[in-house]
Amino acid sequence: MTRLAAHQVRKDFADTLNRVIYQGERIVIHRRGKNAAVLVPIEDLKLIEAMEDQIDLKLAKKARKEKGSVSLAEVKKKYGL
C-alpha cells in the first residue's frame, strides 16, 4: 500500500485519484508522520460495507435471541407510534 504525505496528495490530487480509480491502488495519506486517511477504489469500499452489513446482521440475530428482547410492535405500542 502506498503512503503519501497530505501536502503531496493535495499538490497532485488528480494524479493520485487516477491511481486509485484506474490502477486500483490503495493510498494511505499521512500528516506529520501519522496516518490520517485512506483513498481506496469504490469496489473496496463496497466490499468493506458488505462485510460490515454481514457482521451487523449476525449481531442483530444474536441480540434477538437474548432474554428480555422486545419486538418492534411492542416498542411502537409503548411509545404510541
pLDDT tens digit sequence for 20-79: 999 999 999 999 999 999 999 999 999 999 999 999 999 988 888 888 778 889 999 999
- Where in the chain are the domains? 1-40, 42-81
pLDDT of residue 71: 83
Distance set, CA 15 to CA 27, 30, 37, 50, 59 (Å): 12, 17, 17, 28, 41
Q: Which set of grid coordinates corresponds to residue 25?
A: 491502488
| Predicted TM-score of the model (pTM) | 0.70
CATH topology of domain 1-40: YefM-like fold (3.40.1620)
Q: Which residues pair with 27 in a beta bridge?
A: 2, 39
Q: In terms of pLDDT, which residue wins out, 1 or 68?
A: 1
68 backbone φψ class: left, alpha, beta (φ>0; ψ -120 to 50): left
Which residues face 6 on adjacent strands?
none
| Residue-level pLDDT at 66 | 82
CA–CA dist 14, 41 (Å, integer) = 14
The pLDDT of residue 63 is 83
